[in-house]
Amino acid sequence: MSNAPAVKSPIIYWFRQDLRLHDLPGLSAAVATGRPVLACYILDDQSPADWRPGGASRWWLHHSLSGLAADIEERGGQLMLARGAPATVLAQLAEDTGADLIFCSRQYEPWARQLESELFASLTEQGVTLKRFSGSLLWEPDTIKNLAGLPFKVFTPFWRKCRQLSVALESPPAVGLGKWPETPEPTDQLGDWALLPCDPNWANSWEDRWQPGERGALDKLGQFLRGAVSDYDKGRNFPARNATSGLSPHLHFGEIAPARVFRAAQQAGTANPTVENETEKFLSELGWREFSHHLLFHFPSLPEQAFKADFSAFPWVGSAVHLRAWQQGKTGYPFVDAGMRELWQTGYMHNRVRMVAASFLCKHLLVDWRAGQRWFWDTLVDADLANNSCGWQWVAGSGADAAPYFRIFNPTLQAQRFDQTGEYIRSWLPELAALPDRYLHQPWTAPADVLSSAGVTLGETYPAPVVDHADARASALAAYAEVRSQ
Ligand code: FAD
C-alpha cells in the first residue's frame, strides 16, 4: 500500500456577480472541503444581446476584476479569465483539471437562471456537480411567500415578513486559493476584453470618483456608517447632501455581501440609538433591492413588459428628438438636466433625481419607459436588471406597488424643495450658475436683464423648456384616461 497522500481533485469556483473574497458562502464552502480551489471568471457572452453589460458596467467590471485578481494572487491563487459560453468553458476546465465540483453564487436574471439549470444538467451528464449558493441577496426570493403561498406584490407586507427572518451570519474567510495547472488554455488577459472605453474615453475622471472592488466597497460602507448615516432618513432626498451610501454598484457586482451591509447597519443602530431611525430606513432601502429581485424572480417578463397589464396599451407617442434632449440633459428643466449630466459624467444619478428625470421622460414627454430603462442600462455603473426595471415601472405607474399614474412630479417644485439653494443644479449646469436662486429652477421666468447679466441666453447657452409643464401634465393624464377607458 502506498503512503503517498491521495491527490485531491480541485473544485472550480465560478465567480459571477459576486466579485469578492469575504463573506461569500459558496467560496467558503469550497475552501472548507480542503480541496484546492481554482477561481475563474467567464465574460458573459450568453445573456441576450439587449442585456449584455452596458458601457458603464463594463468599465466597472474591468476594475473590479483587476482588483479581485490581485486579491486572489495575494492569497497564492490565480483568477482564470475566459470568454465564451459558460457551458463549454466550464466543461472544458473541469475536464482539464479533473474537477468534479463547480461552486457558484445564484443569479436572478431570467437568462442566468436558465443557464444555471441547463448547466446543471449538462455538467451532471459529464459527472460534474454544479452547486449554487446564496450570497447575493439577503433571502432567496422563492422562500418568501404571503399567507396564500404566493409572491408579494406590495412592498410593506413583503418587508414586514422579511424583518421576521434572520440574516445569514458571516461566512468564514476564503484563505488559500489554488493556482491553475499548466494544462488548461492560458488565461485571457483582462485588457484583451476591451471593457474600458477609448476614443473617446468618457470615463477618464471616474477613477477619482469610484473605487470598484471589494476594498472600495468596504471603505464606502465604513465611511457611510461613521458619517452620512446620521442624516440618512431626511438627507437621502437631497442630492447635494451626499447622505446616501453610494453602495449600489458594489452591491450589484457582489463586491460586498448584502448580509454584511445589513448586519453592520443594524449594529450601528444598536450601538447608537440616536441613529436607529436612520439605520432602519437604510435597511428598508436594502429591502427595496430584495423586493425588486423578488419581483424579477417571480415575474421574469418585468424588464420587457408592463407589470400592470392595462399599461401595455399605453399610447407612448413621445419623439426621438425629445428622447435625445433628455439623454443629453437638454430639456430646459434644470433639475432633470442636472441629473442627466450627472449620469453622463459619473455613471450615477441620485435616487431623488432618478425619480424626477424618469418621470419627466415617461409623463412629460410620453416616451416609453423602456427607452429610459435602456439608457440607464448603458450609462449607470449600478445598472441592475431587477432594480432598474422596477425603478422604471414604479415611476411609469405600470409596476407592482407603483406610484399612481396621476401623481406627476413637477420638476420645478421638486427642485425648489430638494435643491432649494441650487447647489446640485449649479454643480452640473455651470452655464446657469450665475442665475439668482429665485430663477435657477425655472430660467424661462427670469427677466431679460437677469438672464443677460447671468450670461444666459435661452435657446443658445441653455435650452428653453422642451414642453410646458401644465400642457404636458394634461396630455399625460389624457393618455392615462384613454388606457383606463379601454
Ligand atoms: P442608498 O440610499 O445608500 O441605499 C442602499 C442600497 O439600497 C442601494 O445601494 C441599493 O442597492 C438599494 N436601494 C436603494 N434604493 C433602492 C430602490 N429604490 N430600489 C432598489 N434598491 C434600492 N438601483 C440600482 O442599484 N440599479 C439600478 O439600475 C437602478 N435603477 C433605477 C432606476 C430608476 C428609474 C429609479 C427611480 C431607481 C433606480 N435604482 C437603481 C434605485 C436607486 O436609485 C439606487 O439604488 C440608489 O440611488 C443607489 O444609491 P445608494 O447606493 O447611495 O443608495
The 10s digit of each residue's pLDDT in 213-232 is: 999 999 999 999 999 999 99
Q: What is the arithmetic mean of pLDDT over 182-196?
A: 86
Alpha helices of 144-231 — where are they, by DSSP H? 155-162, 206-209, 214-226
Integer Cα distance of 168 and 281 in angstroms: 20
Closest listed residue to residue 113, CA positions, set 100, 127, 129, 130: 130
Cα radius of gyration rounded to whole Å, the chain = 24
pLDDT band at 47 (very low <50, low <70, confident <90, very high): confident
Nearest CA to ligand 1 atom 46: 351
Integer Cα distance of 357 and 362 in angstroms: 9
Q: What is the arithmetic mean of pLDDT over 274-281?
A: 95
Integer Cα distance of 386 and 302 in angstroms: 8
Q: Any residues with CB less than 8 A from the CB of 229 and at least 6 apart, and which? A: 245, 265, 268, 275, 278, 279, 282
Ligand 1 center to 14 CA (angstroms): 27
- Determine what percent of the chain is predicted with pLDDT higher than 90: 89
Give the predicted TM-score (pTM) of the model.
0.97
Closest listed residue to residue 183, CA positions, set 98, 276, 71: 98
Cα–Cα distance list, 89 to 27, 43, 187 (Å): 19, 10, 12
Q: Give the pLDDT score at 1.
A: 45
- Average pLDDT, rounded, for the chain: 95
Nearest CA to ligand 1 atom 50: 246
Q: Give the pLDDT score at 181.
A: 87
Ligand 1 center to 283 CA (angstroms): 12
Does residue 185 have a pLDDT over 80?
no
What are 335's three cell numbers? Answer: 433639475
Does residue 146 have a pLDDT over 90?
yes
Buried b (16+ CB within 10 A) or exposed e, 409-421: bbbbebbbebbee
Atom of ligand 1 minimally distant from the CA of 382: 26
**Residues that are catalytic:** 285, 288, 316, 351, 369, 392
- 56: buried, middle or exposed (CB in 10 Å: 19+, 13-18, 0-12)? buried
The 10s digit of each residue's pLDDT in 89-101 is: 999 999 999 999 9
Q: Is 9 left (phi over 0), alpha (psi -120 to 50) or beta?
A: beta
Hey, how many other C-beta atoms are within 10 angstroms of the C-beta on 451? 20
Integer Cα distance of 20 and 27 in angstroms: 9
The 10s digit of each residue's pLDDT in 418-450 is: 999 999 999 999 999 999 999 999 999 999 999
Nearest CA to ligand 1 atom 52: 246
Residues with CB under 6 A from ligand 1: 236, 244-248, 251-252, 285-286, 288-289, 292, 351, 354-355, 358, 376, 380, 382-384, 387-388, 391-392, 395
pLDDT band at 412 (very low <50, low <70, confident <90, very high): very high
Does residue 332 have a pLDDT over 50?
yes
Minimum mean pLDDT range among 167-171, 261-265, 309-313: 309-313
Minimum mean pLDDT range among 82-91, 98-107, 320-329: 82-91
Ligand 1 center to 259 CA (angstroms): 17
pLDDT band at 482 (very low <50, low <70, confident <90, very high): confident
Does residue 2 have a pLDDT over 60?
no
